[in-house]
Amino acid sequence: MEKCLDRVLKIVVDAEKEEFGEQPDETNNSNNIEDVDMEADELDNNMNKNEVLVLEDDSEPEPEIQFVFESKNQKLAVSNLVPDVDVNNNMNKEVVSSWNVKQATKKMERLNEQNNNNSNKKRQRDEVASSKPTKKSKVQDRSPPLTNLSELGGMDDIVSQLMELIGLPILHPEIYKTTGVEPSRGILLHGPPGCGKTTIANALAGELKVPFISVSAPSVVSGMSGESEKKVRELFQEAKSLAPCIMFIDEIDAITPKRDGGAQREMERRIVAQLLTSMDELSFEKTNYKPVIVIGATNRPDSLDSALRRAGRFDREICLNVPNELARLNILTKMCSHLKFDHENDKIDFSKLAKLTPGFVGADLKSLVTAAGTCAIKRVFKDLLGNENALPDGFSEQEALLKNSSNMIDPLPLSLIQAFLNKFDKPLTDEQLQYICITYQDFLKALPSIQPTAKREGFATVPDVTWANIGALTKIRVELNMAIVQPIKKPEIYEKVGISAPAGVLLWGPPGCGKTLLAKAVANESRANFISVKGPELLNKYVGESERAIRQVFSRARASIPCIIFFDELDSLVPRRDSTMSESSSRVVNTLLTELDGLNDRNGIFVVGATNRPDMIDPAMLRPGRLDKTLFIELPNMTEKLDILKTIVKCNGTPISSDVNLEEIVANEKCNNFSGADIHALVRESSVIALKRNFFASETFHSVSENDLDKEFDQMQVDSEGDGSQNILVTRQDFLNALKKIKPSVSDRDRLKYDRLNKKMGWIEEEKEVADEKKDNSVSNAADVE
């Protein structure tokens, strides 16, 4: 034992020397370590044999002491190296104990200093972290919105349905509790963008004075697994705690796609499942008879999972259609109620504005009001500067004309804005502000700059073609007026005589006879919503996509009745079905037939088709109830050609010389088989020839050489920079020169073919008709040879 203690002391002294930078004695270091190790093992064995260690003296037992020895090459840990000692070794014991206390004190000081440093660093990190803003500290405002239903216009039917489904259960839940009737848990609002889904949800909560939880569906999606479902659960738990309340989920289709085994991610399926479970937890009993009603809004209701639209969840669906003329009038009246108008000198005719804005939804009308206010402010700038008609420096008349010809609101020149700010560097006085107001002309000026949302969603704006732009075709116009225009304008008259189902009209005939022009005029005269569909644009190479596109067209039409759907080139969409037809084309034909006369209601939807080949259209398409009215638009005769020519010259504003006789022009033999499009091309080409004659100032323009042509072109560039005050008239010779270039679109053989098709009954090919066709072909071929 004494040897052991001596060696321990030696090792301790060496370690202390090493700590103070002195050279330790390494001669027997390894041997000492091995001996100490052996002694330690021996002591451990002796201690394991004795369960309790008893000291010979009555002194307190020595605490366990742990030594840590460090050298250059290794670390040695020795524990419990102070066993029971004899009385005559008390000096060694005291020396070792005093050294151990000293080392332990130093070690404790180092540990305390290290702990203090760590605590200071941790305190600094906590202070920095506490200074940063946290997301969870923000408290969501669930108070009722400030708007109410009285601020909405043109939505009376929708408001009555929502008050019945939501207002009654929230205001009088005792009625439902007494009768045992379960109120609706979910209402789905769908319609085109900008029709007012979010606005009416906020106004309803503000009217009922209940907590309103507004959620944007994309904000629920999280990148961490399980976080999205947790957010959904927390939102519904919050709704239960605030009951009775309304929860509004905007763009709900973003988190509830169909679970049909497609390419949806697993997270989306979990979100749908969690939402379904949370909806089931909103039963009347589980909410303590305090209803929590969920309102969902989407533009694509067909993309939602079918389980979400069953009874007990979103079981009631309300469609917000594109507003009609009366609804647009009410919306404009509500929006402009707080605006400043000059009622004494300028009366705002909102009824005319409603007629001029077909296809506009509420958001488009709001943009129109804002744009009109911008036009008024620009006008005020010019009025206050006193240069309303003057153009600023560097702003030429050509630039002004170019800007006015565009569909955008003319921006104020920078020089004008700077001049206004320099002159009026302080707020305007009440005397200067009293003349600022919005006029009717501001609305008319702002109207072309607004693109309706319906146009971006597949609707076409109502064309500017009227009956006055169409020459001849009197009988066709009468038929279209009775079949489409009047049923839209005066539906009550047709209901009195038992006519409720809208008619379908097929316009067919040679190309260029005005089929598309007639469809545009019908849409303009009826002032209905107009959807223009080119037949091939609905066809898709993927299975089922063509049928889906057709269903979507009719779905948009149902959402905006009264509506006219115009199918151009209908023969490419619904060809005749036979054994050689592909399966995909057959499905497209069947889909269109069921949409026209199937289980779906078609009230208020008028279908107009146009084609050059009626014999290629499936016969089922032309039966009564579908496109039952077929109108043949044939080539115009001499009188009709003259009427068409006069109409084109009048509408285009073509300046005609006094030597031009329009009857002589149409009587020319080169005008045989001319269609309306050919006559329009004749007038345009005559005007171009007149311009060339004016620019080059030479009647022998076609006979000049290439070098002379370059000189004439340079001279034309110089002449075009003049004031243009000289009058340009289209002469008789210009028309004759144009007749040499314009060829008829329809040949004699094609005309005979269309005449034969007009005599057909039911579009059924018969042997006699085939023989007649061969005979007609032989006659036309002989005429061509001659």
pLDDT in tens, 555-582: 878 777 778 888 888 888 888 887 666 7
Return the residue matching tokens 């921006």: 411
Q: pLDDT band for position 759 (50/70/90)?
A: confident
Which value, to the nearest 10 degrees, does the dihedral of the CA atoms of residues 680, 683, 689, 693 take? Answer: -150
- In the block, tokens 């039966």 appear at 623
Q: Which residues are CB-neighbours of 452 under 8 A, at least 6 positions away?
A: 357, 359, 360, 361, 364, 459, 461
Is the confidence at residue 161, as pLDDT, over 60? yes
Q: pLDDT band at residue 714, thresholds of 50, 70 and 90?
A: low
Checking if the pLDDT of 504 tops 80, the result is: yes
CA-CA-CA-CA dihedral for 101, 103, 104, 108, to nearest 10 = 140
- Residue 261, token pair as written in the block: 């085994």
Nearest 5°: phi and psi at 150? -70, -15
> How many other β-carbons are positioned within 10 Å of the β-carbon of residue 564?
25
Query: How far apart are the C-alpha atoms of 231 and 221, rounded to whole Å?
Result: 9
| pLDDT of the residue at 292 | 92
Closest to 588 (Cα-Cα) out of 625, 622, 626, 538: 538
Q: Which residue has the higher pLDDT, 718 or 575?
A: 575
Confidence of residue 133 (pLDDT cuts 50, 70, 90): very low
* DSSP summary character for residue 144: P
* Distances, alpha carbon 119 to alpha carbons 105, 128, 513, 764, in Å: 21, 14, 92, 98
pLDDT at 138: 55
The torsion of the CA quartet 213, 215, 221, 223, rounded to 10 degrees, works out to -70
Strand-strand pairing, 529-534 and 563-568? parallel
| CATH architecture, domain defined by 636-697+729-745 | Orthogonal Bundle (1.10)
Who has greater pLDDT, 695 or 533? 533
CA 627 to chain centre: 34
Residue type, 342: D
- Cβ 272 vs Cβ 305: under 8 Å: yes
Specify the higher pLDDT residue, 60 or 688: 688
Structure tokens that stand for 3 in this block: 């040897």
- pLDDT higher than threshold 50 for residue 400: no
C-alpha radius of gyration, the chain, whole number: 46
pLDDT score at 42: 53
DSSP class of residue 22?
A: P
pLDDT confidence of 266, banded at 50, 70, 90? confident
Q: What is the pLDDT at residue 338?
A: 85
pTM of the model as a whole: 0.62
Chain Cα centroid distance, residue 227: 27
Mean pLDDT of 219-231: 84
Chain segment 630-659, per-residue pLDDT in tens: 889 989 999 999 999 999 999 888 898 888
229 contacts 270 by C-beta, under 8 angstroms:
yes
Q: CA-CA distance, 438 to 444, in Å (whole number)?
A: 11
* Residue 443 host element (H or E): helix 440-446
Between strands 212-216 and 186-190, the pairing is unpaired
pLDDT surpasses 60 at 693 = yes
Nearest to 454 by CA among 662, 223, 194: 194
pLDDT of amino acid 10: 66
Q: Which of helix, strand or coil describes residue 595? A: helix
Please confirm whether the linkage preceding 562 is cis (ω < 30° from 0).
Answer: yes
Classify residue 528 as exposed, middle or buried by CB count within 10 Å of its CB (0-12, 13-18, 19+): buried
Q: For 103-109, what is the mean pLDDT?
A: 63
Residue 201 confidence (pLDDT) above 90: yes
> What number of other Cβ atoms are within 10 A of residue 633's Cβ?
22
CA–chain centroid gap for 87, Å, is 97
Structure tokens at 248: 């509004």
Query: How far lies 778's CA from each of 607, 662, 745, 772, in Å?
Result: 38, 36, 21, 10
pLDDT of residue 348: 81
Look up the CATH superfamily of 467-632. Answer: P-loop containing nucleotide triphosphate hydrolases (3.40.50.300)
Decide: 273 and 307 in contact? Cβ < 8 Å. no
Give the three-class secondary structure for 399: helix
The residues pairing with 296 across neighbouring beta strands, listed in sequence order, are: 188, 249
pLDDT band at residue 467 under the 50/70/90 scheme: confident
528 against 46, higher pLDDT? 528
Q: What is the pLDDT of residue 217?
A: 87
Long-range contacts of 214-220 (CB under 8 A, 24+ apart): 214/248, 214/250, 215/247, 215/248, 215/249, 215/250, 216/250, 216/251, 217/249, 217/250, 217/251, 217/252, 217/253, 217/254, 217/255, 217/256, 218/251, 218/254, 218/255, 220/255, 220/271
Of 45-54, 737-746, 776-785, the range with the lowest mean pLDDT is 45-54
- Match 């606005």 to its residue by tokens: 199
Number of CB atoms found within 10 A of residue 706's CB: 6
Q: Give, in order, the Cα–Cα distances in Å from 653 to each of 53, 141, 356.
A: 125, 62, 24
**CA 718 – CA 183 distance, rounded (Å):** 80
Chain region(s) in the chain for CATH 1.10.8.60: 325-387+412-454, 636-697+729-745
Mean pLDDT of the 183-197 span: 89
Highest mean pLDDT among 376-380, 432-436, 711-715: 376-380
Label residue 489 by pLDDT band (50, 70, 90).
Answer: confident
Of 641, 631, 634, nearest to 680 (Cα)?
641
Contact 644, 671 (CB under 8 A): no
What local confidence, expressed as pLDDT, does residue 726 receive? 60
Kindly report, as residue ranges, where domains of CATH 3.40.50.300 are found in the chain: 149-319, 467-632
User: Which residues, including other chains, have CB under 8 Å from residue 415's CB and lie 6 or more apart?
Assistant: 392, 393, 394, 395
325-387+412-454 CATH pick, 3.30.830.10, 3.90.1530.30, 3.40.630.10, 1.10.8.60: 1.10.8.60
Residue 45 gets which letter from DSSP? H
**Confidence class of residue 53 from pLDDT cuts 50, 70 and 90?**
very low
Q: Cβ distance 188 to 317 under 8 Å?
A: yes
| Per-residue pLDDT, 294 | 94
CATH number of 149-319: 3.40.50.300
Mean pLDDT across 606-629: 85
Burial label for 256, CB within 10 Å (0-12, 13-18, 19+), is buried
Residue 67 pLDDT exceeds 70 = no
Mean pLDDT of 77-106: 51
Task: Please report the pLDDT score of residue 469 as a whole number.
Answer: 86
8 Å CB contact between 588 and 573 = yes
- Alpha helix locations (H) across 242-288? 266-280
The mean pLDDT value for 221-245 works out to 88
Residue 323's pLDDT is: 85
Strand partners, 750: none
**pLDDT band of 410, cuts 50, 70, 90:** low
Residue 365: what pLDDT?
Answer: 92
**Tokens standing for residue 150:** 């009285």
State the SS3 of 323-375. CCHHHHHHHHHHHCCCCCECCCCCCCCHHHHHHCCCCCCHHHHHHHHHHHHHH
Q: What confidence tier does 382 reach under pLDDT thresholds 50, 70, 90?
A: confident
d(CA 396, CA 386): 19
The residue-averaged pLDDT of 382-397 equals: 50
Distance between CA atoms of residues 248 and 188, nearest Å = 10
- pLDDT number for residue 234: 92
Q: Which is more confidently placed, 777 or 517? A: 517
Closest listed residue to residue 633, CA positions, set 605, 652, 608: 608
Q: Say how far apart CA 142 and CA 509 lie, in whole Å.
A: 63
Q: Are 697 and 768 in contact (CB under 8 A)?
A: no
* pLDDT > 90 fraction of the chain, expressed in percent and rounded: 17
d(CA 74, CA 84): 29
Q: Which one is predicted more confidently, 486 or 16? A: 486
% of the chain at pLDDT higher than 70:
68
What mean pLDDT, rounded, does the chain reach? 75
